[in-house]
């Protein structure tokens, strides 16, 4: 099975930080509409139709009038009259923030960002379909591979993070194995990010679906 391709989440975090600084220092009352951007009314309708707690991909138009190459991955966290709020998806940051914890599922992701309907720089918002890949996974095949793995084996594992609503690629080793459905991986790399210190990820494939697993 082919490993899912991961988008540039670090760039998303930079976009998030920039927009939060922009909000802090003040913003124009009404920005000029960039060519190709969604109208205020259309943007409102799209956001309302998608709804809260859904993962979305936001493509903005830069100052030169070109669509950004990498969309912002985020989860809709609030829908208001003048703006909508999102939580930027960033599983790497979440893991790094948890370096002093035994569980990576305690911390937040990339932070909250507000997008005003009058910004006039959003080209497209679509609902992401990462969750749909779970329907294509052959669980029996995954269990067969896990059954053959032993503690200490170096592995590459792709899984669906239910909190971030995104597919994540991890490189590490099998640390503990309680059963074919419950095991602990010592993660050394998440997507393209090398971790400064290995972190434990507790897998129960009934709650954290494994999309692919390979010995390396």
Domain ranges of the chain: 9-129, 131-215
> How distant is the alpha carbon of residue 71 from its chain centre?
11
Q: Which residues on adjacent β-strands are paired with residue 201?
A: 185
* pLDDT tens-place values along the chain, 216 residues long: 444 444 444 444 445 444 544 444 445 455 688 999 999 999 999 999 999 988 899 999 998 999 998 888 899 999 999 999 998 887 666 565 554 454 443 334 457 889 999 999 999 999 887 666 665 678 899 999 999 999 999 999 999 888 888 888 999 999 999 999 999 999 999 888 888 888 899 999 988 889 999 999
What are the phi and psi torsion angles at 121 (to 5°)? Answer: -130, 15
| Helical segments of the chain, H only | 9-25, 40-50, 91-97, 139-148
As a three-state string, the secondary structure of 53-81 is CCEEEEEEECCCCCECCCCEEEEEEEECC
pLDDT in tens, 5-48: 444 444 444 454 445 444 444 454 556 889 999 999 999 999 99
Pairing of strands 112-116, 122-127: unpaired
Architecture in CATH for domain 131-215: Roll (2.30)
């Amino acid at each position: 099975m082919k490993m899912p391709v991961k988008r540039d989440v670090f760039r998303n975090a930079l976009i998030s930080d920039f927009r939060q600084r922009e909000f802090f220092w003040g913003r124009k009352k009404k920005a000029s509409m960039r060519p190709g951007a969604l109208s205020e009314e259309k943007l409102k309708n799209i956001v309302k139709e998608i709804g809260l707690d859904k993962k979305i991909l936001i493509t903005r138009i830069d100052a030169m009038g070109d669509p950004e190459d990498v969309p912002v991955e985020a989860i809709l966290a609030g829908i208001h009259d003048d703006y909508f709020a999102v939580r930027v998806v960033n599983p790497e940051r979440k893991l790094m923030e948890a370096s002093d914890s035994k569980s990576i599922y305690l911390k937040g992701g990339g932070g909250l960002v507000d997008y005003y309907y009058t910004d006039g720089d959003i080209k497209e918002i679509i609902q992401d379909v990462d969750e749909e890949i779970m329907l294509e996974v052959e669980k029996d095949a995954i269990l067969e591979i896990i059954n053959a793995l032993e503690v200490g084996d170096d592995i590459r594992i792709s899984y669906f993070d239910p909190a971030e609503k995104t597919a994540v690629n991890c490189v590490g080793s099998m640390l503990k194995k309680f059963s074919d459905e419950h095991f602990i991986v010592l993660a050394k790399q998440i997507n393209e990010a090398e971790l400064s210190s290995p972190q434990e990820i507790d897998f129960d494939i009934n709650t954290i679906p494994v999309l692919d697993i390979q010995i390396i």
